[in-house]
Amino acid sequence: MKKVFFSIIIGLSMLAHANAFEGDAKAGKTKAATCAGCHGTNGIGIMGSYPNIAGQHADYIVKQLKAFKAGTDRSDPVMSPMAAALSEQDMADVAAYFASFGRDGSAPAGAETAATDNDAAATPAQVTRAPAKAAYVANAASGKALYEHGDTTRGITACIDCHGKEGNSQVLINPNLSAQHPEYIEKQLKAFKAETRHNASMNQISGNLSDEDIANLGAYFKDPAAVGEVKASAAKVVVKSFTGDVAEGKIKSATCAACHGADGNALVAMYPSLAGQSEAYLVKQITDFKTGTRQDPVMAGMVAALSADDIQNISAYFASQTLNPAIAESNERGKSLYLSGNAKAGITACVACHSISGKGMDKAGFPAVAGQSATYLKSQLEKFRTKARTNDTNSMMQNIALKLTKKDIEAVANYMASLK
């Protein structure tokens, strides 16, 4: 969670296409009647294990309904059959209805909403929460510190970057956590940790959380405003470990220096810098060049004679080096696409996989893009768009790049290059 919980809802499930249907809150009120049994007539869950969806981003609600309907990334014995009968328009309408409420289940002042004077404003059920362990008392301050600062020594990124200050997400495909039942937050974090709920980013982040961490985060969300200012834990030196032999990789990488630099920092903008890139990602790309899954006339010849050990060692060497970020200027168009995508165009936010800092997600197989040459980034997005490059998992990058205009590609490439 260092600067990522954002997106968090990040991963394969996050890469589902954004909702292209305009929702009708009034129509959604009728269609949402069956939802009231668990989520209340105004989106306030009737007990702690049911989420509050009042005031939630409509895009996020639609995304989760689609996931339940597809049954691949998220399943539930109650929600899955409920979602199965919904059309995309139904989902958009139901989402618009619940999004029309305030986070506390109230109708926005002065605005016409799907609620009427006869709709009783439900209040969250009072549920006694059992501690994660009998001997452990959850600490809200520790939960806030983890939420706002993460823990780099354990590979936990700060949740605030995806879910916003006090849980008020500014990214439409990432859920608001404010006014959510703490019990529900804990339940979902445990599901991500156990990988019974699938999202590449959240699975990776939650996998590093202890039961105490999860209890602390839940305690923080009982009343975020009640917790004072907190500081990050004292920084510790993080020693990276690699599968490959770094020393052997340095020797084997001699022929790579002409294009990628002796330390993995390319001197020519058209070539990618490999320094600091994920070892696993580098192994995949070199292997793909060798097998022809990713095609390039120069790289194919360079890697043809490499053994599996050579590839692992070279990857470890470059992963162990420090990146010298490219010089680039940020821009608002690129920033908007990177952080929020474009719902109408069906463009998913880049932050979902590459993290808010652009450092990628090693375990999920998503590469770092921060500080990479804008020239190289543009060339790869163009290749994905034209299907000249097709070695992305489940065609995720191809599907996204296909919807990008040339101006979009230039803007988002420059923004990614500007990240440090």
- In the predicted model, is pLDDT for residue 298 greater than 90? yes
Which residues, including other chains, have CB under 8 Å from residue 418's CB and lie 6 or more apart? 328, 329, 330
Are 371 and 420 a contacting pair, CB within 8 Å? yes
* Residue of 34 and 240 predicted with greater confidence: 34
Question: What's the average model confidence in pLDDT over 101-124?
Answer: 56
Dump the DSSP string for 302-350: HHTT--HHHHHHHHHHHHTSPP-PPP----HHHHHHHHH-BTTTTBPPT
- In the predicted model, is pLDDT for residue 306 greater than 90? yes
Judged by average pLDDT, the poorest of 7-16, 78-87, 95-104, 160-169 is 7-16
Query: Confidence band (pLDDT; 50, 70, 90) for 108?
Result: low
Question: What's the average model confidence in pLDDT over 284-306?
Answer: 96
Three-class SS state of 151? strand
- In the predicted model, is pLDDT for residue 349 greater than 60? yes
Tokens of 7: 């997106």
* Residue of 25 and 5 predicted with greater confidence: 25
Query: Confidence band (pLDDT; 50, 70, 90) for 390?
Result: very high
Tokens of 110: 């002065």
- In the predicted model, is pLDDT for residue 238 greater than 70? no
Q: What is the pLDDT of residue 135?
A: 57
- In the predicted model, is pLDDT for residue 235 greater than 90? no
Three-class SS state of 35? helix
Question: What's the average model confidence in pLDDT over 348-362?
Answer: 85
- Taking only the tens place, the pLDDT of each residue in 152-181 is 777 787 888 788 888 888 777 789 998 888
Q: What is the pLDDT of residue 16?
A: 42
- Taking only the tens place, the pLDDT of each residue in 208-230 is 899 999 999 998 988 888 887 87
Residue 156 is given by DSSP the state: B
Cα separations in angstroms, 152 against 11, 97, 321: 20, 39, 18
- Taking only the tens place, the pLDDT of each residue in 123-134 is 444 444 444 445
Q: What is the mean pLDDT of the chain?
A: 84
Question: What's the average model confidence in pLDDT over 359-367?
Answer: 83
Q: What is the pLDDT of residue 381?
A: 98
